[in-house]
A and B are shown apart, each in its own frame.
Chain A
Amino acid sequence: MSPTLLAAADGNPLPDLHIGDAVADAVDWITDNLEGLLDGISAALTFLVDLISSILLGPPPLVMAVIFAVLALLVRSWTFALFTLVGTLLIISMDMWEPAMETLSLVLVATLIALIIAVPVGILAAQNDTVSAVVRPVLDFMQTMPAFVYLVPVVIFFGIGVAPGVCATIIFALPPGVRLTELGIRQVDRETVEAGEAFGGTSRQILSGIQLPLGLPTIMAGVNQVIMLSLSMAVVAGLVGAGGLGQEVVTSISRIDVALGFEAGLSVVILAIYLDRLTGAIGQPTGRALLTKLTSRKKAAESAVGAGV
């Protein structure tokens, strides 16, 4: 190392740009000037999460366990349905049902909003290279910036509670939704898209008739990733008072309660596996699933009738 750089070691050789201060100022400005908007968002998010969790917690837990199992049977297989039943019963027996459903509702709301943003952005990025070039670094930023860093401004915006939890979860979970939507559309066979163009399809017809259906497995992989990331973030969001299983985990840490921590953690794992297998199955129909069997039979019958005419 040269002597000049050594000399500069005690004082920074480059001017401090105060980027952090600028961001802090921006956060202050937003809190001061957009209070109404922030309150509105906060209320809406809280309302949505409360609504869904009240639906999930409405019926007796055992009834919900059966409903979850039936859903698993329809979408995937009876083994998965059996796992679901055992898993949910375990959650109930550990007395983790209520926080688990609170977490699930938070995950569902965050996922829904993340997808509403991610899929259209992904479509735009797939169709336009400039959009893609702009979006990519933003996604990198969102994904790699440590989650705790943006928990702070989110808390400043929304206070403690469900809203900052949902908001941080959306930011954290959104990127794979955009990325995999873009990838799914871009990797659709060039010739098939060309066929749509060659027969005079509008870009909207090609998007809805060719690109989205053919890109669906990849897009669903993105949806799956969004859900999984939501779930992991929803637990971290317990730190800002989002409730649910995250709350239990935070409590167990503060009390050094290993038993509580393990039970909450196990519930998260069961929930994660359930959501992962469920959404994974929607992306790639296995043929074993009752739902795909039913629909394909219906389709075959319809076309047989059509051919007979």
Chain B
Amino acid sequence: MSAIQANGLTKIFGRRPQRGVRMLEEGADRAKLRKEGLTAAVIDATFDVAPGEIFVVMGLSGSGKSTLIRTVNGLLEPTAGSISVDGQDVTHLSKAGLREVRRTKVSMVFQHFALLPHRTVGENAAYPLQLRGVNKAEREQRAEEALGMVGLAGWGGSLPSELSGGMRQRVGLARALASGTDVLLMDEAFSALDPLIRKEMQDQLLELQSELGKTILFITHDLNEAMRLGDRIAMMRDGRIVQVGTAEQILNEPATDYVAQFVADVDRSRVLTAAAVMERPVAVVGAETGPKAAHKLLREHQVPALLVTGRNRRLEGFVWEEDVAAAVKTGADRLPLSGEPVIRVTPETPLIELFGDAASSRAPLAVVDEQGRLQGVIPRVTLLSALSVPDSVDAVPSDGRDGDGTGERPADGQSAPDTAGAL
């Protein structure tokens, strides 16, 4: 079951917003609604967040992302469509029902922390439990645990004003964790922090996530943050979700010119991973193969070296063309494995970490999984072409992961410069 599921979600602000829904159905756009005094903040948003996933909603200010996140816990009621959390429709809940959802299922972290300045850090972290009527001893204990998780153990007695921005947001995070809900909404949670602190917080969030496995809906306007954190990313523009997909899908298969334009400046070498650019290993021979067969394969593929695998595609080493040719001449029956070690990388390695390795060896990099089985190879040429923008990435094979991105390649190719004004 999805942790969060939105279906045709629309939120329009203004007087009698329902007429805006009708206008949108009749094909009116955002500008036309604005003339009628209506603001279409979110239009027909449909997405699914799986349990344990970090789902990032990415968009510039005014794209409707903050409105979207507020419909999940009912701070805003959608004008049309529905949204459900953990299978429960929260769209038309009573006030009491909504409070119950907020107390038990969804907690939230805010951009400007939203801590209570007159209460200590510990009391702030315990605040959701206090609202719920949990007794003092238990809520203090759980608050202290949550503070420990975010690295603020022992700070419970301080006031928020005595803490730095990063520490305050840790308190905000601890408050959400202390609440003990499975779903966490994070509204531009790190946007108000210094870049260095922001990176630290992102690392910490990923670390916490790997331990706790919460479902996180994260809102940001920072593409690099979205790419770092998101298992999947929803790109929003003018109230609509224009693409949902993994960071790699969005980079390599932007659904619209807008997305392409947006991702043009991303440091691809930090976002793309080995798995995303690796090629199917074709220049591979089994360890049992004789030198003659290997030599034939080398000529077929016009490569200087072959990877050699044993049982279960476990990588054993590689052979150079010269050595194979020599072995054929001498009539040897075993492959002359090179003494040099093969450079093995894991599928999750970012490209930036591959360049040094690629430079040190003529042989392609071998991508192997945890069991040492060969998953793919990355020749130097592939590594270089992966860094170019999608215009010329047609040669790059699709990534090895199964994402369910809704992205489609634009039919008319990329014309990114035309949309420069949109940014």
Contact = CB atoms under 8 A, between A and B. Distances in A.
Interface of A: 189, 191-192, 194-202, 205, 209-210, 213-214, 299-300, 302-304, 306-307, 309
Given A195-B108, A306-B157, A307-B144, A200 B128 contact: yes
A205 B131 contact: yes
Given A194-B114, A309-B140, A304 B157 contact: yes
A203 to B, nearest CB: 9
25 contacts: A189-B112, A189-B114, A194-B114, A195-B110, A195-B114, A195-B115, A196-B131, A198-B106, A198-B185, A200-B101, A201-B99, A202-B131, A205-B131, A209-B131, A299-B157, A303-B120, A303-B122, A303-B156, A304-B157, A306-B122, A306-B140, A307-B144, A307-B154, A307-B157, A309-B141
B249 interface: no
Contacts, number: 80
Contact of B75 (A197, A300, A303, A307): A197
Contact of A210 (B75, B116, B120, B122): B116
A198 B122 contact: no
Given A214-B118, A306-B122, A199 B157 contact: no
Contact of A300 (B144, B157, B175): B157
6 closest Cβ contacts across the A-B interface?
A303-B157, A200-B103, A200-B102, A195-B114, A199-B128, A198-B108
Nearest to A303: B157
Given A199-B131, A307-B154, A191 B103 contact: no
Contact of A199 (B102, B111, B120, B122): B102
Contact of A191 (B106, B112, B118, B132): B112
Given A195-B114, A197-B102, A302-B157, 7 more contacts: A189-B112, A192-B116, A194-B75, A201-B99, A202-B131, A205-B131, A306-B144
B123 to A, nearest CB: 8
B243 interface: no
A17 B130 CA distance: 59
A212 to B, nearest CB: 10
A183 to B, nearest CB: 18
A199 B110 CA distance: 12
Contacts of A213: 116, 118
B100 interface: yes
Contacts of A202: 99, 131
Nearest to A299: B120
Nearest to B112: A191
A184 B122 CA distance: 26
Chain A interface mostly: helix
B33 to A, nearest CB: 24
Contacts of B140: 306, 309
B353 to A, nearest CB: 39
A199 B172 CA distance: 12
Contacts of B110: 191, 194-195
Contacts of A302: 157
A198 B157 contact: no
Interface string B113-146: 0111110101000011011100000001100100
B107 interface: yes
Given A304-B157, A307-B122, A307-B144, A199 B179 contact: yes
A102 B114 CA distance: 46
B119 to A, nearest CB: 9
B63 interface: no
A244 B141 CA distance: 57
A195, A214, A304 pick with most chain B CB within 10 angstroms? A195
Contacts of B179: 199
Given A200-B102, A304-B157, A214 B116 contact: yes
B183 to A, nearest CB: 12
Nearest to A203: B95
B10 interface: no
B5 interface: no
